Amino acid sequence: MKFPPTRYLRPVVLDQALDALNQYKGSIKVLAGGQSLLPLMAMRLADPDILLDINDLAELQEIRDWENCVEIGALIRHQRLIDDPVIQQHAPVLPLVARHIGHLAIRHRGTIGGSLVHCDPAAELPLAVQALDGEMLVQSVGQTRILPAGKFFLSYLMSAVEPHEMLTAIRIPKLMAHTRFAFDEVAGRTGDFALVSALAIVTLDDDASIQVARLAIGGVSEVPFRVYEAEQYLTDAKLTPEVIDGAASIVHQAVNPEGDLHASANYRRHLAGVLTSRVLTRVGVKGDLSWNR
Amino acid sequence: MATSGKQSSQWTGRSIPRKEDLRLLQGQGQFMADIATRPGTKEAAILRSPHAHARILAIDVSEAVAVKGVVSVVTGQDVLAAGARPLVVAAPVPADYYPIAVEKVRYVGEPVAVVVARTRAIAEDAAAKIKVSYDPLPAVLGIEEALDPGSAVLHDALGHNVAVHRHLRYGDPDGAFKEAAHVVTGRYWYPKVSSTPIETYGVIATWEQGDTVTIWANFQGPFSMHPVMARALGIGQHQLRVIVPPDIGGAFGIKISIYPYMVLMALVAKIAGVPVRWLEDRLEALAASSSGTDRLTDLTAAVSNVGKVIAWRMRLVDNVGAYIRAPEPGSLFRATGNLVSGYQTQNLDVEAIAVMTNKCPTGPNRGYGVSALYFAMERHMDKIAALVGKDPAEIRRINLIPHSMMPYRTPSGGYYDSGDYLATLERALERADYDQLRQQQQEARRQGRLFGIGIAVGVDPSVSNMGYIDIVEPPEDRKPHRSKSGSGQGSHVQVDASGGVTITLSTCAQGQGHETVAAQLAADILGVDPKDIRVIGGMDSSTRNWTIATGAYSSRFAATGAVATFSAVQQIREKLLDIASHVFEADRDDVQWVSGRAEVKGVPARALTLKQLAGIAHWDVASLPPGMEPGLAVQTYFTPPTLGESVDPEDRVNSSGTYGFMADVVAVEVDSKTFAVKIHRYATVHDIGKVLNPAIVEGQIYGAALHGIGAALLEEMVYDDQGQLLTGTFMDYVVPSAPDAPDLIIDHMDYAEGSSLTTPLGAKGVGESSTETAPAALANAVSDALGIDINQLPMTPNRLFHWFLQRESLISQEV
Amino acid sequence: MEPISVVTVDMIINGRPQQYEVEARQSLADFLRDQVGILGTHIGCEHGVCGACTVLMDGVPVRSCLSLAVSASGHEIVTIEGVKDLPLGQRLQQEFLEHHALQCGFCTPGILTTMAHFVAHYPKATEEEIRDALSGNLCRCTGYHNIIAAVSAVISSRHDDAKR
Ligand SMILES: Cc1cc2nc3c(=O)[nH]c(=O)nc-3n(C[C@H](O)[C@H](O)[C@H](O)COP(=O)(O)OP(=O)(O)OC[C@H]3O[C@@H](n4cnc5c(N)ncnc54)[C@H](O)[C@@H]3O)c2cc1C
Ligand code: FES
Ligand code: FES
């Protein structure tokens, strides 16, 4: 399992990188953490002529604290999401889900940008970005596109980033006050990709009824699945056991997963319901974490 | 285990730090990939079949050969042209097995061509450029399908897919079935699993003077494969030198099946005219190295009204994959002597069948031929218990062989020399706190939780008799003077002129700590510190003493290699004492060995140290007793005396040298929503005779149990209906990781000195142990938790969900 | 900027600066083994799952099978051969020896590098956290129990040190 022959570029400023993407369009591939791309190359399922190693681009390694959002450079590694105080404070959903990604060594190398562009339907970060209504900054020579999550995740292992483009940063809106959230997943083993995952983010009124609900399920469709129907159902309701059951059965109905080696379609559908009630129940109590600024 | 005060076992029986670890902890081990190659050695990559079953129409290597850095591209036809002969197959059927496909491919991953190049990467680049045209044929995958005469045929010369079909009868099963109060039947599927050592295969092959080949490989033995390889290469055994590196990164039986690659690389090196190295990668390992058989078992038990099994009828069908690769169909017969496990039954009727399908050929994996057997039997015992209204513990008490019947001869020829099975079971129940678990279960059930308890017991065979495989042929077909028996192992000990002790093993250890145990045994005999003893691991067939059985497999070291070493060191000490008595002019009986010195009894001042005596043996022939040879080296062999028999005309054979016993009690909780199985408690008690190093034994049990747990809950080689392997990566072939591994409550039965009639040290094998019982114990526990009858593994949450739903819908239909 | 297929790399390996010419496609694992000639880093899967190849890059664990040698240029690499020089390296090795935390030892280099980082950064880790941190290192021999015991011993000895 040796990597196929390739050539190598390692620019130190973003413009150089964008130029290279433009110049070698189609035969060049961005190498970020390599934790998804290199296994594919080892199995010779990917065979890029040129690898554009973006690990020296300082522009992609910043975390900026704006008024309404946190802007996270595409090259921020999973472990940094877990450890960084700004992220912990302003985008606490990310550390919560990032802990479930792979293993220590994978988290120390893999990047948020790589995970979003790779767009695995069971991956944690795309799920979180989908639920948080994150925005992606996608750059090419002389152009920047800002894509909402709904337009970024296109299909199975396919994001909206064109071959001449690069994802440079992700903007995660800060949470409203009185927001609680919970995440859960079922995976074959610790660190494996989830079979199914669920993330609930709920903002409560003063009287504890739900002002805004966001619910996303991973592993049940080509891209992380926002269950708007369930979100609507939850809005203005209180998180009683009946309401939670109701939401779970909406999810159970709404998802249309495919079966594979590890989980049948029916089991996945079942888990979507189970995990929905688990995360909503936890949110009802307190949430895995809450945001009460 | 406490340190014995006696000087004679100051070291043996203790958990001393291992000698091996000093190098391994520093990254200084010498594994196969670390062996220095000769200048000019090239790297090989193998092009493998993408089809499960197809005729090879043509292979075009022209583009591959043209790649810069490529030395040679070798196909099946080239190998034939170089004079390769098929590998000897243990079953008497016309199903030729070559290490590379000729004419037809029969499983996904079968070698089709080998590229030899300057680097592995270049070899892989070139392999991708080979064009093979195939004519795909229908794939045969399942056992039932293979038995169906209408299915496609893998080996045309055979005309069907049944490799072996034997009917074995012991005692009077028909009579017993007539008398039975109950007849209990069941059908069980055991999955195809692979023990997947973390180190993959590696081979280096070099020819010298055109007719002698040296092959380095992480081969674990048995060296019965040595004549097989020599024959396939068309050379004499003396022309084949096999060198095994000192460190092997796990084997578990799989590294027996490396020998076809050893032959292949030797042929490739010959054709390419350069030394060749091939390091298997993980994808190759999963697709093609060696996994176990999937087995279908039909069990019928004749049961008395009190729940005693008076006869078994078994139909065992093993799927050996595309070829019968020796030692297959050993999977069917390895357990011949212990087919009744620890139960008293003397009546046994066995139909043993091996079928071939378009899956990866099989071979030994930890728990070889036993895990699947006990999975069926122990599930069956629970069914019998339920039928006669007894607790699962009670049904086993009723059926186990009592201590008073030891030594015990099983109907199929097994000789259980010692063991207290009932006491072992009781100890396991006690250590698991069985009664408390049952209470906990009632409490959990009241709360609607799925809590279950499972028991499994089993006789653990080790030290395989080289002769058991003769049973493949019916008695009338067996050739006179061709029978096999025994399980010999050599050892070599030398003391140099300064008194330094070097033990040269030939056991090909893979992590079992042979070096440490050998040093412990020798240290006690010679009164020196194990640190001061050098032990050389690995193996070299041209310079070390070995037999056909040599190697580390079937948990054989403690009962063979350790004994050979023990007696070699003893002989060394005898010689030292002989020298001392001559030098002191004392009566031989008046000289004794105390604290590393020979001294005259009662006169401690008259003593010679090991170093002084060694000096005499090497330097001063004049001081030696008349007629004594100079030097201090001893070479020994040992085989357990109970293996001095081959298969008899009634198909009975003592298939293993020692038989331990274990009892596992496990409690699980199944998540009622996700159906994930959590092990709540796992107690395992072993009756393995004398423990030579408790830490090593405990380590073996931990590792063995986790292999069984993996097979029970996670692992399976899955093929789709076209024969494509779906579990071809380590992402998809899921083995347990640290969060999945339970803590175990481990205990041993006390060893009564001299109770083993088989092995002088009193030690039995333990390397496979709970791999054989864990799958059954867990299946019993999960069945108990869910109230369903589980007859198939692994019990993934996905499957449990579906089985549980089926049960629920059956219940609601009944209402 | 021209893409190139053979690259000069500079890195510090186990404390010593080194310079080599490497093929762009070469993995860090193969580079360490075949070019530098230090053989303690083991290869078990080459797709990131088994963890045997784990080394420290700039102090954090990474899969050397899923890193290019060229990407490691300019960085500091510590392999099993350098673990003894890390702050808790020798203590970890000693506890592994005493707890019989290895059998064949093939997984051990990756486990020691990963754990050398872990015990230094998570001095209060619970058993569950240790298991989680070990989840990326497969071992087929030990059943993990003794590995966890050895790592726990290092962590609790750090508590004892702190109390003193
Ligand atoms: C054993 C193992 C277990 C894992 N488990 C999980 C898990 O449980 N959950 C999970 O989510 N992931 C898991 N992963 C994947 C891991 O999270 C990867 O890090 C991630 O998917 C990709 O990030 P990367 O930085 O490594 O990207 P790379 O592998 O470098 O790149 C991935 C793809 O994205 C492109 N790309 C990367 N960055 C950019 C950019 N800035 N702009 C444009 N294109 C870009 C690349 O060209 C490539 O096509 C696992 C990986 C392994 C090896
Ligand atoms: S070899 Fe790198 S993770 Fe297995
Ligand atoms: S000790 Fe052998 S794989 Fe871990």
Classify domain B21-28+489-546+561-638 by CATH architecture.
2-Layer Sandwich (3.30)
Residue B813 has a pLDDT of: 66
Higher pLDDT: B251 or B91? It is B251
Distance CA A90, CA A69 (A): 8
Q: Are residue A68 and residue A160 in the same domain, yes or no?
A: yes
The mean pLDDT value for B184-188 works out to 97
Each residue's pLDDT tens digit, B682-724 = 999 999 999 999 999 999 999 999 999 999 999 999 999 999 9
Which of C140, C146, C154 is the mutation pick for testing B, counting most B CBs within 10 A?
Answer: C140
Of all residues in chain C, the percent with pLDDT exceeding 90 is 95
Res. A293 pLDDT band, cuts 50 70 90: very low
Identify the residue whose tokens are 């594994």: B31
Each residue's pLDDT tens digit, A145-167 = 999 999 999 999 999 999 999 99
Whether residue A8 and residue C27 make contact (CB cut-off 8 A), yes or no, is no
User: What is the count of structural domains for chain A?
Assistant: 3
Closest CA to B543 of B466, B490, B486: B490
Domain boundary among A108, A138, A172: A172
Closest CA to B296 of B381, B192, B190: B190
Closest CA to B361 of B423, B308, B290, B280: B290
Each residue's pLDDT tens digit, B81-110 = 999 999 998 888 899 999 999 999 999 999
The mean pLDDT value for B154-162 works out to 96
The mean pLDDT value for B282-293 works out to 97
Q: Tell me which residues have their CB closer than 6 angstroms to ligand 1.
A: A 29-37, 39, 74, 101-102, 106, 110-111, 113-115, 117-118, 120, 123-125, 161, 166-167, 191, 193; C 48-49
Count CB atoms within 10 A of the CB of residue B180: 19
Chain A residues in contact with C8 by the CB 8 A cut-off are none
CATH code for the domain in which residue A222 is found: 3.30.390.50
Angle (deg, nearest 10), helices B561-584 and B610-619: 80
Which of B280, B671, B674 is the mutation pick for testing A, counting most A CBs within 10 A?
Answer: B674
The mean pLDDT value for A43-52 works out to 97
Q: Is A293 a member of any domain?
A: no
B21-28+489-546+561-638 and B294-467+645-814: identical CATH topology? yes
C touches which chains (3+ CB pairs under 8 A)? A, B
Residue C164 has a pLDDT of: 60
The mean pLDDT value for B561-576 works out to 96
- Here the ipTM equals 0.97
Total-model pTM = 0.96
Q: Are residue A164 and residue A183 in the same domain, yes or no?
A: no
- Which amino acid makes up residue A140? S
Q: Regarding beta strands A225-226 and B212-217, do their DSSP bridges make them parallel or antiparallel, or are they unpaired?
A: unpaired
The mean pLDDT value for B520-542 works out to 96
Q: Find residues 660-689 of chain B whose CB sits inside 8 Å of chain A.
A: 673-674, 676
Distance CA A174, CA A70 (A): 7
C67 → chain A, closest CA residue:
A34
Per DSSP, C33 falls in state I
Q: Are residue A202 and residue A240 in the same domain, yes or no?
A: yes
Q: Determine the CATH number of domain B294-467+645-814.
A: 3.30.365.10
Q: Are residue A184 and residue A241 in the same domain, yes or no?
A: yes
- Which amino acid makes up residue C148? I
Angle (deg, nearest 10), helices C145-163 and B694-713: 120
Residue B626 has a pLDDT of: 95
Q: Are residue A168 and residue A186 in the same domain, yes or no?
A: no
Q: Which ligand is nearest to the CA of C108?
A: 3
The answer to whether residue C163 scores a pLDDT higher than 90 is: no
CATH code for the domain in which residue A95 is found: 3.30.465.10
3-class secondary structure, B650: coil
Identify the residue whose tokens are 């850095």: B69
Q: Is A2 a member of any domain?
A: no
Each residue's pLDDT tens digit, B737-796 = 999 999 999 999 998 877 787 888 999 999 999 999 999 999 999 999 999 999 999 999
Q: Is A291 a member of any domain?
A: no
The mean pLDDT value for B132-142 works out to 98
> Of how many residues is chain A composed?
293
The answer to whether residue C9 scores a pLDDT higher than 50 is: yes
Distance CA B684, CA B700 (A): 12
Which of B125, B130, B798 is the mutation pick for testing A, counting most A CBs within 10 A?
Answer: B798
Per CB distance under 8 Å, which residues of C are interface residues toward A? Answer: 1, 3-5, 7, 23-27, 30, 46-48, 51, 54, 60-63, 65-68, 70-71, 114, 117-118, 131-133, 135-137
Q: Are residue A280 and residue A190 in the same domain, yes or no?
A: yes
In the reported structure, the alpha carbon of residue B353 is separated from the centroid of ligand 2 by a whole-number distance in angstroms of 39
B touches which chains (3+ CB pairs under 8 A)? A, C
Each residue's pLDDT tens digit, B459-490 = 999 999 988 989 999 999 888 778 889 999 99
CA-to-CA separations, B287 to B107, B280, B605, B658, C46, in angstroms, rounded = 9, 11, 67, 34, 15
The answer to whether residue B807 scores a pLDDT higher than 90 is: no
Q: List chain B domain ranges.
A: 21-28+489-546+561-638, 32-137+200-248+254-288, 294-467+645-814
Q: Tell me which residues have their CB closer than 6 angstroms to ligand 2.
A: C 43-46, 48-53, 63, 65
Q: Regarding beta strands B450-464 and B656-670, do their DSSP bridges make them parallel or antiparallel, or are they unpaired?
A: antiparallel
Determine contact, residues B763/B561, Cβ cutoff 8 Å.
no
Longest dimension (CA), chain C: 58
Q: Are residue A151 and residue A185 in the same domain, yes or no?
A: no
B744 → chain C, closest CA residue:
C145
Question: In sequence order, what are the beta bridge partners of A167?
Answer: A138
Q: Verify whether ligand 3 is closer than 6 Å to residue C140 (CB atom).
A: yes
Q: Are residue A144 and residue A183 in the same domain, yes or no?
A: no
Whether residue C30 and residue A2 make contact (CB cut-off 8 A), yes or no, is yes
Per-residue tokens: A49: 């002529």
Distance CA A126, CA A132 (A): 10
CA-to-CA separations, B797 to B244, B653, B803, C101, in angstroms, rounded = 41, 41, 10, 30
Chain A residues in contact with B726 by the CB 8 A cut-off are 261
Residue ranges making up the domain that contains A235: 179-286
Domain boundary among A172, A201, A217: A172
* pLDDT mean across residues, chain A: 95
Q: Is A58 a member of any domain?
A: no
The answer to whether residue B2 scores a pLDDT higher than 70 is: no
Q: Are residue A183 and residue A281 in the same domain, yes or no?
A: yes
Each residue's pLDDT tens digit, B44-53 = 999 999 999 9
List domains and CATH numbers for chain C. 6-79 (3.10.20.30), 89-163 (1.10.150.120)
CATH class of B32-137+200-248+254-288: alpha beta
Q: Does B329 sit behind a cis peptide bond, omega within 30 degrees of 0 on the bond before it? A: yes
3-state helix, strand, coil in chain B (%, to 5): 30, 25, 45
Residue B554 has a pLDDT of: 87
Distance CA B672, CA A79 (A): 33
Distance CA B177, CA B182 (A): 9
Atom of ligand 3 nearest to the CA of B197: 3
CATH code for the domain in which residue A12 is found: 3.30.43.10
Residue B480 has a pLDDT of: 79
* Element (DSSP H or E) covering residue B43: strand B42-48
The answer to whether residue B5 scores a pLDDT higher than 60 is: no
Q: Are residue A44 and residue A69 in the same domain, yes or no?
A: no
Q: Are residue A217 and residue A276 in the same domain, yes or no?
A: yes
Q: Is A91 a member of any domain?
A: yes
Q: Which ligand is nearest to the CA of B283?
A: 2
CA-to-CA separations, B730 to B200, B285, B704, B735, B739, in angstroms, rounded = 13, 10, 20, 8, 17
Closest CA to B508 of B553, B559, B565, B551: B551
Closest CA to B780 of B382, B367, B429, B459: B382
A touches which chains (3+ CB pairs under 8 A)? B, C
The 3 state secondary structure assigned to chain A is CCCCCCEEECCCCHHHHHHHHHHCCCCEEEECCCCCHHHHHHCCCCCCCEEEECCCCHHHHCEEECCCEEEEECCCEHHHHHHCHHHHHHCCHHHHHHCCCCCHHHHCCCEHHHHHHHCCCCCHHHHHHHHCCCEEEEEECCEEEEEEHHHHEEECCEECCCCCCEEEEEEEECCCCCEEEEEEEEECCCCCCEEEEEEEEEEECCCCCEEEEEEEEECCCCCCEECHHHHHHHCCCCCCHHHHHHHHHHHHHHCCCCCCCCCCHHHHHHHHHHHHHHHHHHHHHCCCEEECC
Q: Are residue A196 and residue A249 in the same domain, yes or no?
A: yes
Higher pLDDT: B4 or A118? It is A118
Q: Regarding beta strands A210-218 and B294-303, do their DSSP bridges make them parallel or antiparallel, or are they unpaired?
A: unpaired
Each residue's pLDDT tens digit, A242-261 = 999 999 999 999 999 999 99
